[in-house]
Amino acid sequence: MSNLRDVPLFMRRSTGILGGDGWGRVAFCTALAQRYATSLQQTLPKRKMLALDRFDMKILHALQRDARLTLGALSEAVALSASQCSRRIARLEQEGVIEGYALRLNPAALGLTVTAFIFISVDKQRMHAPREAVAALLAREEVIECHTVTGSHDFLLKVMVESLGALSTFLAEAVSPMEGLHDIASQVAMESLKTNGPLKVEAG
């Protein structure tokens, strides 16, 4: 085997090619990654993706922008009969593509003038079940969104409150007392240029 590409990974450590032990570690890590990927594919729930045609996409595109469209108006917009639209909507709801219909409110009209993003990192040696610990935060009405994130923090919260004082109270009463916290950082939005935007749907 004169060409390096012809040398199997599991042999490269013994042959001493490219630093001996270095290739052994590569072989081990590659095999481990392949084994993990196979195991992950076997354990993850297999959900069949729903095939969406251009009419489905047109319906989703229209309803995202106005969920109160009548079947008559929707049928004209997508060039299908009202009964066909009704059947397609029912299928999209049943398959979980349409998760629900919600009312969008003006936060400022409700006095919620402060939007803040709170980054939380946890000490995993002290907090063995971070998701359970964060569950109490999710029940708070101030928390609009919660995400697990990459980087130096573990969770990202989007919070909307009446004032900076209310934000300070929320941090002191709801976040700081959590056991196992490693770090908390918050950033206040100066201006919201786009919120609650529709998902990208190719209407065709």
End-to-end CA distance of the chain: 54
pLDDT at 200 over 70: yes
The whole-angstrom separation of Cα 88 and Cα 60 is 10
Query: What residue type is assigned to position 20 of the chain?
Result: G
Mean pLDDT for the chain overall? 82
d(CA 161, CA 146): 15
Q: Sheet containing 155-161: give its strands across.
A: 143-148, 155-161, 114-122, 181-188
Q: What is the mean pLDDT of residues 172-184?
A: 91
CATH architecture of 54-94: Orthogonal Bundle (1.10)
In terms of pLDDT, which residue wins out, 49 or 80?
80
Contact 121, 174 (CB under 8 A): no
- Determine the pLDDT at residue 47: 56
Q: Residue type at 153?
A: H
For residue 127, what pLDDT is reported?
Answer: 73
Lowest mean pLDDT among 95-109, 120-134, 171-185: 120-134
Predicted confidence at residue 84, as pLDDT, reads 97
Q: Say whether pLDDT at 99 is over 50.
A: yes
Give whole-number Cα distances, 164 to 18, 91, 142, 191, in Å.
Answer: 59, 45, 13, 14
Give the confidence band of 34 by pLDDT, cuts at 50, 70, 90: low
Domain borders along the chain are: 4-43, 54-94, 108-188
Give this prediction's pTM: 0.70
DSSP state of 51: P
Predicted confidence at residue 46, as pLDDT, reads 53
pLDDT above 50 for 5 = no
Q: How confident is the model at residue 35 (pLDDT cuts 50, 70, 90)?
A: low
CA distance 136 to 180: 14
Please check whether residue 118 is in contact with residue 137, taking contact to mean a CB–CB distance below 8 angstroms.
Answer: no
Q: What is the pLDDT of residue 202?
A: 84
Domain made up of 108-188: CATH architecture: 2-Layer Sandwich (3.30)
pLDDT at residue number 204? 67
Give residue 131's pLDDT: 82
Confirm whether 54-94 and 108-188 share one CATH topology: no
Phi-psi region at 148: left, alpha or beta (left = phi > 0; alpha = psi -120 to 50): beta
Region 153-166: what's the mean pLDDT?
97
On whether the CB atoms of residues 72 and 61 are closer than 8 A, the answer is no
- What average pLDDT score do residues 34-57 get? 66
